[in-house]
C-alpha cells in the first residue's frame, strides 16, 4: 500500500491501481503512488459538485483565510517538499526550493484579490448591476515542468471565486502535489479540493465530463487542441496555457558579454523545460560571433548533475519521452548547424543532456521552428532588426519574447511589435502573481494571474432592475 494517497471527497484514499514514479537523475523507482481510475475521477467530480453547493456561499473572507492557511502550511515544510520535488522532477534543489516558496507566495497574493459587483447604471428608470459568480467544478490539469507552482496558478483563484476543484497532476510528477493534498484535506471542507492521478488516461474523461464547468490546462499546444475539442462537447469554459517558441532579439548596440548571462539563464532554467524559456536567439551580424562565443563559454562551464548534489546548476530532463525528443533535436542541430558547446548526452544513468549552443542555423530548420523544451539554444544571424522581428513573429506561437539593447526607446518600439503575450526588455522569465500572463496565437487562450486571471473563473451576471 502506497504512502501517498488520492484526495477524494475530503478523504485520503488508495488508488484503484498503482504506478511507479521514476527519479530522472538515476532512472530508479523513487516511489509507488496511487493511480486513479475512471470511477475515482467520477467520484471526485461528484464530490466537488456536492461541495460547490455550500462552498459558493462561504463568505469570501473565509475562503481567503483557508487559502492563506494552505500557504502557511507549505511554508512550514519548504525543505521537505523541495527535496521531494527535486527527486521526482529533476531540477536543482535551489530551483525546487524557489518553486515551493513561490507556490506559497502565489497562494497568498492571489487570495488577497477581490470580486466586487459593479454598478453600471442607477437612475429613475432602471438599476443595472454586474456581478461575478462562480462557475462550478473546475478541472485543473498540471504539467510536469512546474508540478507544484502551476497548481498555485489555478487553485487559489478558482477557490477564491467560489468554485471547487479536481486537480490532475502529471503521471511523472505527482508526489509533491499529493503531499500538498494531505494539507488540503485538513484545511478545506470535504470535496472542495480533490486530487486524482492517472497515467494520462483520464484527461479526456475530465475534459468532457458533463459536471465540469471549466478546464484550466497547462501543457503542449497539441494536447491543448485536444482539450479544447473535448471541452466543446458541453461548451466548457477553458483557460489554455500552451507551448511557446520564445525569441530573443539582440540588437546591434547590445554588449554580448553583458547580455549573454541573462540570455543563457533564460534558455536553460529547469534544463530549458519552461514554456516561457528563450528557445531561439536572433543576433545582429556585427555581434553574432562574440555573442555565440559568450554563450558557449557559459554552456561549457555549467555544472550538469543530480539536482540534490551541491553545485548542480542544470539537472536531467524530466522523463524519458522528453529525453528522447530532445536527443532528436540534437541530431537535427548536428546535421544542419554548428554545435559550439554541448551537444552530448551524459554517459551515466539519468536523462542528462549538456546545455547546447548551435550557430549557423536559420528559420525553416526544426531546431529553430519547433519548441525544443530542453537545454538547446539556436542562435540565428540577422542584418536588419525589422527582418528579425518579422522572422520572430512568423512562428505560430506567441507566448513570450524579449528585446536586448541599451537603447530603451528602440527596444520598447520593437517589443510593442512582437506578437507575444509577454515581452521583456533586457531580461527574460520575470513574472509574478500580480502580472497578467497569457499567450497569443497558438500559445493559449485566456489569462492567468492578477485580477484578469481571477475573472477567468467567474460567470458575469447582470441584474437589470426596473424602477
- The domain ranges of the chain are 6-242+443-466, 246-433
Give the model's pLDDT for residue 286: 98
Interatomic CA distance for residues 427 and 250, integer angstroms = 11
Give the model's pLDDT for residue 354: 97
Give the model's pLDDT for residue 336: 96
Q: Would you identify the CATH topology of the domain 6-242+443-466?
A: Aldehyde Dehydrogenase; Chain A, domain 1 (3.40.605)
Paired with 129 in beta bridges are: 119, 463
Paired with 189 in beta bridges are: none
Exposure string of 160-198, with b = 16+ CB inside 10 Å and e = fewer, is bbbbbbbbbbbbbbbbbbbbbbebbbebbebbbbbbbbb
If one counts every other C-beta atom within 10 angstroms of the C-beta of residue 57, the result is 8
Quick one: CA dihedral 449, 450, 455, 457, positive or negative?
positive
Residue with cell 545582429: 284
In this structure, are residues 193 and 165 in contact, taking their beta carbons and an 8 Å threshold?
yes
User: Would you state the CATH architecture of domain 246-433?
Assistant: 3-Layer(aba) Sandwich (3.40)
Q: Which of these, 24, 1, 8, lies nearest to 320 by C-alpha position?
A: 24
Q: How many CA atoms lie within 13 A of 315 on its CB side?
A: 29
Paired with 137 in beta bridges are: 164
Interatomic CA distance for residues 284 and 42, integer angstroms = 55
In this structure, are residues 149 and 176 in contact, taking their beta carbons and an 8 Å threshold?
no
> How high is the mean pLDDT in each 10-residue block of the chain (467 residues)?
91 98 98 98 98 98 98 98 98 98 98 96 97 98 98 98 98 98 98 98 97 98 97 96 98 98 98 98 98 98 97 98 97 97 92 98 97 98 98 98 98 98 98 97 98 98 97
Residue positions annotated with a catalytic role: 241, 275
Give the model's pLDDT for residue 2: 74
Amino acid at each position: 500500500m502506497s504512502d501517498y494517497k488520492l484526495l477524494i471527497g475530503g478523504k485520503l484514499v488508495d488508488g484503484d491501481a498503482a504506478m511507479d514514479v521514476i527519479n530522472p537523475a538515476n532512472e530508479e523507482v523513487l516511489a509507488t503512488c496511487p493511480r486513479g481510475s475512471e470511477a475515482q475521477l467520477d467520484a471526485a467530480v461528484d464530490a466537488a459538485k456536492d461541495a460547490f453547493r455550500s462552498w459558493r456561499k462561504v463568505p469570501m473572507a473565509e475562503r481567503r483565510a483557508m487559502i492563506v492557511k494552505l500557504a502557511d502550511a507549505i511554508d512550514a515544510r519548504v525543505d521537505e517538499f523541495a527535496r521531494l520535488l527535486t527527486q521526482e522532477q529533476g531540477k536543482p534543489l535551489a530551483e525546487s526550493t524557489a518553486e515551493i516558496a513561490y507556490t506559497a507566495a502565489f497562494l497568498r497574493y492571489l487570495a488577497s484579490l477581490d470580486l466586487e459587483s459593479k454598478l453600471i447604471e442607477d437612475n429613475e428608470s432602471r438599476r443595472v448591476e454586474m456581478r461575478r459568480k462562480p462557475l462550478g467544478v473546475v478541472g485543473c490539469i498540471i504539467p510536469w515542468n512546474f508540478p507544484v507552482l502551476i497548481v498555485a496558478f489555478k487553485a487559489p483563484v478558482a477557490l477564491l471565486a467560489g468554485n471547487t476543484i479536481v486537480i490532475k497532476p502529471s503521471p511523472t510528477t505527482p508526489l509533491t502535489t499529493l503531499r500538498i493534498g494531505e494539507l488540503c484535506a485538513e484545511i478545506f471542507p470535504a470535496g472542495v479540493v480533490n486530487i486524482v492521478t492517472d497515467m494520462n488516461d483520464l484527461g479526456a474523461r475530465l475534459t468532457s465530463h458533463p459536471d465540469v464547468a471549466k478546464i484550466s490546462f497547462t501543457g503542449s499546444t497539441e494536447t491543448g487542441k485536444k482539450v479544447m475539442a473535448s471541452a466543446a462537447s458541453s461548451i466548457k469554459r477553458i483557460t489554455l496555457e500552451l507551448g511557446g517558441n520564445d525569441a530573443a532579439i539582440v540588437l546591434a548596440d547590445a554588449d554580448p558579454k553583458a547580455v549573454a548571462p541573462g540570455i543563457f539563464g533564460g534558455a536553460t532554467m529547469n534544463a530549458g523545460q519552461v514554456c516561457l524559456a528563450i528557445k531561439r536567439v536572433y543576433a545582429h551580424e556585427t555581434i553574432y560571433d562574440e555573442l555565440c562565443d559568450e554563450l558557449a563559454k557559459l554552456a561549457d562551464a555549467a555544472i550538469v548533475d543530480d539536482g540534490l548534489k551541491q553545485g548542480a546548476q542544470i539537472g536531467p530532463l524530466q522523463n524519458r519521452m522528453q529525453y528522447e525528443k530532445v536527443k532528436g533535436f540534437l541530431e537535427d542541430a548536428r546535421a544542419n548547424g554548428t554545435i559550439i558547446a554541448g551537444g552530448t548526452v551524459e554517459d551515466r544513468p539519468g536523462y542528462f543532456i549538456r546545455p547546447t549552443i548551435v550557430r549557423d542555423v536559420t528559420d525553416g530548420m526544426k531546431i529553430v521552428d519547433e519548441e525544443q523544451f530542453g537545454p538547446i539554444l539556436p542562435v540565428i544571424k540577422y542584418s536588419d532588426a525589422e527582418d528579425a522581428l518579422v522572422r520572430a513573429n512568423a512562428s505560430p506561437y506567441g507566448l513570450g519574447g524579449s528585446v536586448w539593447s541599451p537603447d530603451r526607446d528602440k527596444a520598447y518600439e520593437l517589443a510593442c511589435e512582437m506578437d507575444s503575450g509577454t515581452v521583456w526588455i533586457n531580461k527574460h522569465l520575470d513574472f509574478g502573481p500580480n502580472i497578467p500572463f497569457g499567450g497569443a496565437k497558438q500559445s493559449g487562450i485566456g489569462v492567468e494571474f492578477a485580477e484578469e486571471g481571477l475573472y477567468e473563473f467567474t460567470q458575469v451576471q447582470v441584474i437589470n432592475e426596473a424602477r
